[in-house]
Structure formats: C-alpha cells, structure tokens
Amino acid sequence: MATPTDAFTLTRTFDAPRALVFKVLSSAEHMARWWGPAGWNWVKGELDFRPGGRFHYGMAMPGGPQMWGLFTYEDIVAPEKIVFRNAFSNEAGELVRHPMAPTWPLEVRNVLTLQEKDGQTMLTLMGAPYEASLIEQQTFTAGFESMRMGFGGTFDQLGAYLAELSPPAQA
C-alpha cells in the first residue's frame, strides 16, 4: 500500500454505530440508496461481498450516458476494515480506462477503516494506484481535489441515508 504522502486519504465521521455503517457498505440494496456522485441515478448493481468477490454497478447522469464501476474485494474484517480495488468498467464488468482521463490508473487499491467512539463512526478511506505507471500515479495525485469533492458528495449521501436509518434519539 502507498504511504500517506502519495495516497488519497479522506476521513468522515457519521452519527451512527459502526455495525450500521458496515452494513450499508456491504449490501447492494443499501449501496443503491447512497453510493455514487450526487445527482447521478442508480442503474443497477450486483454485490458479492467477500474476499475475491465483486461489486459491479452502473449509474447515469440525468439525460447523460451510463458509467460503470467495479470493486474487487481483497480483505474484509467485519465491522472494521474493507480492502478493495476499484476501477471503471463496462456493462459486462470488464475493466476499462476512465472515460475522461485516459492516464488515470486502471485500478486504485483502497483501505477503508471504521472506528467507533461514543456511538459515532469515523470512516477513513485511503487509496493509491494499483500496479500503475509513473504517469498514472501523477494523474492520480493531480486528481486529489476532484476526488475530495466526489467522495465528499458521496459521503454526504451516506450520512443522509444513515440518518434515515437511525434517527437521533428524542430528548
């Protein structure tokens, strides 16, 4: 795995227990409700949540083309860690290049950790190019701000979805 200086890292705290956060990360039914960039519509998704399993999904911008993605799970330690590679794919689940950035790494290896404290869960995502060329690594690093905005919107949707599932206790 990459060192923190060359990896993309994002941390977000959710007002939900770790077991619930893990549950919505490990089910296609739940992922369909929050995963992806804000404003995109879910097309479909299939999830085989186990080491060696895959999450293959499609989304579309309203009036725009469909885009497909693929996670390949390497390691899962419930409810604290998920290690996976993510990539763009076609509808058949075959890896393809980023449709708008041809020098983007074909795959990015991610380590997602969940830590619970006082009923809240801190999610940390750290990702780095997987088996990438120098230009792919440079393209990835140059994309940190864009990824921060994209994952920020995705995690905003996750936070709103978690709030629907576990509304705060009434005083």
What pLDDT was estimated at residue 171? 45
Q: How far apart are CA 45 and CA 27, in angstroms?
A: 10
Ordered by start, the domain boundaries in the chain are 8-165
DSSP 51: T
What pLDDT was estimated at residue 38? 87
What spatial distance separates the first Cα and last Cα of the chain, rounded to whole Å?
A: 45
pLDDT tens digits along 46-59: 999 999 999 999 99
What pLDDT was estimated at residue 60? 94
What pLDDT was estimated at residue 6? 81
For residue 49, give the nearest of 69, 31, 32, 27 by alpha carbon: 27
CATH class of the domain defined by 8-165:
alpha beta
Q: How far is CA 99 from CA 23, 89, 103, 138, in A?
A: 31, 10, 10, 17
- Is 116 within 8 Å of 18 (Cβ atoms)? yes
What pLDDT was estimated at residue 167? 66
Q: Which two tokens stand for residue 21?
A: 């956060």
All residue ranges of the chain with pLDDT < 50 are 1-4, 170-171
Give Cβ neighbours of residue 9 (< 8 Å, ≥ 6 apart).
Answer: 124, 125, 126, 127
- Evaluate the omega torsion of the peptide bond into residue 79 and state whether it is cis, within 30 degrees of 0: yes
- Is 122 within 8 Å of 110 (Cβ atoms)? no
pLDDT tens digits along 71-85: 999 999 999 999 999
Q: How far apart are CA 135 and CA 105, in angstroms?
A: 9
Phi-psi group of 139: left, alpha or beta (phi > 0 → left; psi -120 to 50 → alpha; rest → beta): alpha
Phi/psi of residue 46, nearest 5 degrees: -130, 130
